Structure 1
């Protein structure tokens, strides 16, 4: 325990939980050493599942430095995590841990109380690298390469409940916690990197749920109809949002962008430049085009119409709207957006996802051409 004593002296105490346990940050980790036995359910690869014999849990940043890839400290990920536990002064046999590339300095901590029930969510995370939607197509089926480290982009959650729960309800609390995480991503309209769908998490998310068997409060419900379920939602959802904002600036402000909304459907800077330059012999330079594009990208009208247009495509793919309904509404949105910028509106003749994307691109190119002409005209007048 000498390493733990040394680490504790150098540690930054983030908070004291209602359970009496303290939360520390040191050695690129967030650590919760238990003052007494706890009930823990976790997705940890070492000492995961349901346990009553753990002495601590931790969340570790495996990123060696900015721009550098995560590296293994041992031949297997399990051995790597045991080594990390030892290095931060914990007993690997009675410790559950999570790994991530997110900085522990970007942690978000939220606590909610109701009468004598207290719930705290401690979250780090990012979804810019491997955010995905459950059910996305994959090609992974073989056992993992033992030299591989978990991909960065993980949302790691430690959820502490100052109440005693039976094992099944502790697992139900993890389900509610996961729903809250997904709700946070929905509210931010985060796109999957592997399909046209909205992300429901990253491919490597991890969760540790902790209950207090010493508490006089005994609960047998953690679903959405229970006060415990409500508090889990009210702590995890905002904590996930804050952690994502701290780590990668993912926020409502960042998401107020036509390009970020359309990225999951394949409309990106380069595809728009190719569409613009390919049909215009007197195209402006690429830097000037990008400057105009980024101005249009965050125009309030463009973002609003883009959000509505994309939702039409989502509902079409979910079979909630028919092709006729999508064609009619899509053409109305194209006309409305074109009218705001005084350009010609393309017309969707037959609705399909590919056709709708094509005609939005045509509209956007028309807007960008008009804006580029304006920019060139202003430049000519200034030089004259």
Structure 2
């Protein structure tokens, strides 16, 4: 079915678990795909495909390589693999987000699917493979795929700059959602399997030479991509400002979980509650506005210590002030120690202190 009409006259179709854009005229395309990737002027179509075989079943190659899988997919959806470029994901095409923004005769359209709950990562996180070993990495649940259509004629270098701006916009969306990495305690900057296809209209009379943030084109890329990424993440996994308004969500990337807080409750010698009751009381305070705000400030101290913007001693001292506010709110008598030396020791100690406090809050419930 046709789900969108681009200003170029190209139609966006959804069928056979794919988003497909057949080109009516010649286009300039820059793609991260192994199928006709890089810069091309001879392509006739672009697609994004949902390779998820079903709930609880992991994605796997159907051929001997990801490239050949994409060729097979192109053929199955009626495209010529020699003149198509495509990307795949485990996200549903039913959860696609489309955002178009315009200025005078320039329109930029972002067509996005994605999720970061499983595969979100921060650039520089530990790698999972080295290509020289011949290992193939399959698409995981979490890929953010972007097709960006620009109704203007761009130079090849301008297309490359548009890719940079598009990536910045994606990362900005994740930062604004405080989405955590699944592989470190950092904030996610994308997923490990993201794909992008940028399409420019080589038939347009509008010739643009720059796509950075100072240009109107760069501005429109940001205004289209950021909300489209956020909407796609919400449609796929429910990730949103509302879902992130949670103490537990803010702590997740630091390895603090409901089970970990329950175990701390036992270590404190206070395991007098049944676990379901304890978890219920933990969840009852999880979204309290003041506690979420103080938790967010606390973990940002850890971030800034990681980034060497503040010293471990200062982070521990300021963390103590935040914990004092929590103790006062819940009338807790908990000792907070902060005599650590290295940044790593300080982070470990601060997280242990915070887990201790949350365990004691949960043991008494929201009215402690």
TM-score (norm: length of structure 2): 0.95
* Superposed CA offset, 1:37-73 (max 9, x none): 1000010011000000000000000012222222323
Cα deviations across residues 242-292 of structure 1 (Å, max 9, x unaligned)?
000000000111111111111111111111111102322542111111111
Match of 1:189 among 172, 178, 181: 178
What is the count of residue pairs matched by the alignment? 363
User: In the alignment, is the contact (CA less than 8 A) between 1:330 and 1:348 conserved in 2?
Assistant: no
CA distance in 2, matches of 1:119, 1:364: 46
Contact 1:346/1:363 (CA < 8 Å) preserved in 2?
Answer: no
Q: 1:332 aligns with which of 321, 325, 330?
A: 321
Tell which structure's C-alpha radius of gyration is larger: 1
Select the residue among 133, 143, 163 that pairs with 2:122. 133
Cα distance change on mapping 1:284 and 1:93 into 2, 3 Å: same
2:276 is equivalent to residue 287 of structure 1: yes
1:257 to 246, 258, 275: 246
Q: Distance between the aligned counterparts of 1:149 and 1:363, measured in 2?
A: 41
Shift of 1:148: 5.2
Where does residue 362 of structure 2 map in the other structure?
368
Partner of 2:351: 357
Which string of whole-angstrom CA distances, capped at 9 and with x for unpartnered residues, describes residues 201-259 of structure 1? Answer: 00000000000011000011100000000000000000000000000000111111111
State the match for 1:38 in structure 2: 27
Residues 334, 345 of structure 1: 8 Å contact kept: no
Displacement of 1:373: 9.1
Structure 1 residue ranges without an equivalent (≥5): 1-11, 375-384
Q: 1:372 to 1:256 in 2, by over 3 A?
A: closer
Say if 1:364 and 1:184 are closer, same or farther in 2 by CA, change over 3 A: same
* 1:62 matched to 2:56: no
Tell me how large the CA RMSD over aligned residues is: 1.5
Residues 276 and 365 in structure 1, CA contact (< 8 A), matched pair in contact too: yes
> How far apart are the structure 1 equivalents of 2:101 and 2:367?
54
Question: Which residue of structure 1 lines up, in the alignment, with residue 12 of structure 2?
Answer: 23
**Contact 1:284-1:372 at 8 Å conserved across structures:** no
Task: Tell me if 1:220 matches 2:187.
Answer: no
Cα deviation for residue 117 of structure 1 reads: 0.4
1:294 deviates by 1.1
Equivalent position SS for 2:154 = coil
Which of 92, 96, 103 pairs up with 1:107? Answer: 96
Distance 1:139 1:251 in 2: 28
Once the two structures are TM-superposed, the CA of residue 326 in structure 1 deviates from its matched residue by 1.3
Mapping for residues 148-297 of structure 1, pairs under 5 Å? 149-280=138-269, 282-297=271-286
- With over 3 angstroms needed to count, the CA separation of the structure-2 counterparts of 1:353 and 1:210, relative to structure 1, is same
Q: Partner residue of 1:14? A: 3
Report the counterpart of residue 80 of structure 1 in structure 2.
69
Structure 2 unpaired stretches of 5+? 341-345
